[in-house]
Every structure is written in C-alpha cells, then in structure tokens.
C-alpha cells in the first residue's frame, strides 16, 4: 500500500524507481525488487504458505522487500508484488496516518508470515488506498474498521494483534494480495477510483461524498 494521503506535495514514485537497480559488487547483496503491476498473473493467484519462516531464503526476501519499500516510501508490500508467491507481507503504520483511536497507534515495520485476519464486530469504514501495483491511482475502499490478525515473525515468534483504523486497513490491503485481490476489487463505488494527480487538484471529501 502506498504511504501518503497528505497528497499535496507528494508525487507518484517515478516508474523507473520501481525497477531493479544494478547491484554493485560491494553492495551487501540487497536489491531493489521489481514490482508486479495489476494484470500480472502473480497478483491474481493465491500465494502459498511459507513452510519455514526462519529459512535463509525468507530472510533474504524480507531484506530485499524492506529495501524496496524504503526506496519507494511505501507503507506496505506483499511478497506477490515482488513476484514471489509466498504468504508474507511487510508494513508499517506511520504516525501521521493514524486516526488517534486507541488501537491505531504508529507501528514500526512488521514482517508477517502466514497471516490470518478476523474482522471484529463494528462498522465498515471507507478510506483511501493506493497500491504500488496500481501506480498513479487511488481509490476509496470499504473495509471492517477493526480486525484481529495473527501470524509469525521471521524469528519464529507469534504475532497476535487487535487493531483498527489505518493499521487495520494496511494489514487487510496487504493480506488481500496473498489471495490475489487488489483494492479495486474491494471497491463498491468506482466513482471513487481516481488518478492521484487529479485528486491532488480537486480532493474528494469522503464524508461529504457519503452524505450526498
């Protein structure tokens, strides 16, 4: 998921930055990974469970995904987006995106292997999302406002959290990638699928839109 809703000055990452850079001989071996875009088969198929979250190839993939996410200043990335059909996502919750609600706090980068999500009782919430695999666009997506999610960290420890707001949204968005689902498929009103550049010129207030 892309990181910014504060829009104004933010630009879409140049497409060239989404593609693998040459890795120098002394680079330490990490790579910026190429991002699969909407339509690629890897984004349309369910991903496979990770047999051993502590395996060296998982550690390598995670290091490359983190470097890729930092390079493009995103909020989250799922393994299928970098052409690896494994059930693994990484994400973080920047302080500026939190809603201020009790279970929506800033969250350092989390690596979640073999996640499972359970919606908790409560309303659906409409919020803006972008996706590195759908460059240039953003859409308003209804999702359960509160969820519980579980999974395994690469160290093998269990993760079990109840969250809401942006934290709940980014986890649902990233985990959808593991089931071959992109956010436009979750949208119920496609008038709210817009180009970021147009949105920046004339922002849409979701609350006002809902009241129409």
Positions annotated as catalytic residues are 174
Of residues 2 and 107, the one with the C-beta less far from Ni ion: 2
Of residues 76 and 154, the one with the C-beta less far from Ni ion: 76
Of residues 52 and 131, the one with the C-beta less far from Ni ion: 131
The site for Ni ion, by CB under 5 A, has a size of: 1
User: Cα–Cα distance between 100 and 206 in angstroms, integer?
Assistant: 18
Q: Taking contact as CB under 5 A, which single stretch among the options 20-28, 102-110, 128-136, 158-166 is the one that binds Ni ion?
A: 128-136
Does 131 sit near Ni ion (CB under 5 A)?
yes
Does 163 sit near Ni ion (CB under 5 A)?
no
Of residues 37 and 101, the one with the C-beta less far from Ni ion: 37
CB 122 to Ni ion: min, Å: 23
CB 4 to Ni ion: min, Å: 14
Does 36 sit near Ni ion (CB under 5 A)?
no
Does 79 sit near Ni ion (CB under 5 A)?
no
Residue nearest to Ni ion (CB): 131
For binding to Ni ion (CB under 5 A), which residues are involved? 131
């Amino acid at each position: 998921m892309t990181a910014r809703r504060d829009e104004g000055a933010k630009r879409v990452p140049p497409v060239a930055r989404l593609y693998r850079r040459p890795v120098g001989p002394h680079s330490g071996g990490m790579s910026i990974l190429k991002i699969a875009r909407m339509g690629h088969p890897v984004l349309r198929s369910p991903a496979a469970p990770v047999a051993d979250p502590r395996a060296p190839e998982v550690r390598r993939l995670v290091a490359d995904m983190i470097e890729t996410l930092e390079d493009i200043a995103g909020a989250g990335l799922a393994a299928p987006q970098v052409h690896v059909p494994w059930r693994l996502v990484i994400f973080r919750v920047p302080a500026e995106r939190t809603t201020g609600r009790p279970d929506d706090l800033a969250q350092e980068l989390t690596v979640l292997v073999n996640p499972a999500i359970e919606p908790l009782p409560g309303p659906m919430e409409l919020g803006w999302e972008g996706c590195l695999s759908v460059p240039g666009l953003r859409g308003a997506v209804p999702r359960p406002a509160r969820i519980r999610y579980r999974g395994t960290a690469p160290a093998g420890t269990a993760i079990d959290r109840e969250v809401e707001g942006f934290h709940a949204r980014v986890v649902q968005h990233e985990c959808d990638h593991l089931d071959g689902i992109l956010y436009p498929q979750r949208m119920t009103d496609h008038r709210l699928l817009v180009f970021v550049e147009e949105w920046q010129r004339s922002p849409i207030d979701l609350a006002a839109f809902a009241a129409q």
